[in-house]
Amino acid sequence: MRFDVLTIFPDFLKSPLDEGIIRRAILSKQIEVGVTNIRDFATDKHAMTDDRPFGGGEGMVMKPDPLLAATKKVNPRGAGHVVFLSPQGRQFNQQVATELSEREHLVLICGRYEGVDQRFLDAYVDEEISIGDFILTGGELGAMIIIDAVTRLLPGAVGCADSISNDTFSRGGLKYPQYTRPRVFEGEEVPEVLLSGNHAAIEEWRWLQSMRRTKARRPDLFAALQLTGAEKKLLRAQRIL
């Protein structure tokens, strides 16, 4: 899979791309990541990528012509899925990450200032995506979040495949509590069931803990769960439902 990131601050992405799972995925050629400086495609001597908005108002707006030239450079045949990171976009979540992981080529455009000329968005962007209801100085962090979330879903990117299927949101709820050594920490012991060796009991305990946590912390997710009759009966017995 290939990612192309278009930005006016390419150095912003150097460190995140050289760490952890993303670095290993690049080295193993599971993914390719290209970072393109939009300023390289500006046509004036000052390499300007923004200008004042027509109609007046605060701030600056990114010009459409450098963006178009940069996009055509990395996506010459138009086969890539072009995404603009924007607070007006579709909310990014695990389902969207899974959907994007099925693409062969993602072009991630990082906006700055007050926005991007609408004519470019209308003609050359496939969709806008938001990573949350807050405002950042630019789209670079959002692009890295998408690259990270999508990469770990690719086969072989994460060492233990089960960790992906058991992640928070992957199963529809929040993840259960986790424990490791020492067995006793500041007087608090690991729950006895986790030491029992009874895998069925452990799985049931973990599921119940996941449901209890989801209901308490994310009632919206809990309300959306598709539960079987047996699961509902178990939750009622534990006074979770």
| 148 is an active site residue | no
40 is catalytic: no
**Using one digit for the tens of pLDDT, what is the confidence trace for 167-226?**
555 567 999 999 999 999 999 999 999 999 999 999 999 999 999 999 999 999 999 999
Instruction: Dump pLDDT digits (tens) for 57-75.
Output: 989 999 999 999 999 999 9
Q: Active-site residue among 64, 87, 177, 191?
A: 87
Which residues are paired to 129 by β-bridges?
90
Contact 83, 6 (CB under 8 A): no
Residue 55 falls in which region: left (phi positive, over 0), alpha (psi -120 to 50) or beta: left
Contact at 8 Å (CB) between 178 and 52? no
18 as an active site residue: the answer is no
Among 40, 167, 204, 231, which one carries the catalytic annotation?
167
Please confirm, yes or no, whether 152 is among the known catalytic residues. Answer: yes
Mean of pLDDT values over 72-98: 97
Q: What tens digit of pLDDT does each residue of 2-22 get?
A: 999 999 999 999 999 999 999
Rounded Cα distance between 58 and 70, Å, is 26
Which residue shows structure tokens 């209801």?
Answer: 133
CATH class of 2-151: alpha beta
Q: Provide the CATH topology of domain 171-237.
A: Trp Operon Repressor; Chain A (1.10.1270)
Specify the pTM: 0.87
Which residues make up the CATH 3.40.1280.10 domain(s) of the chain? Answer: 2-151
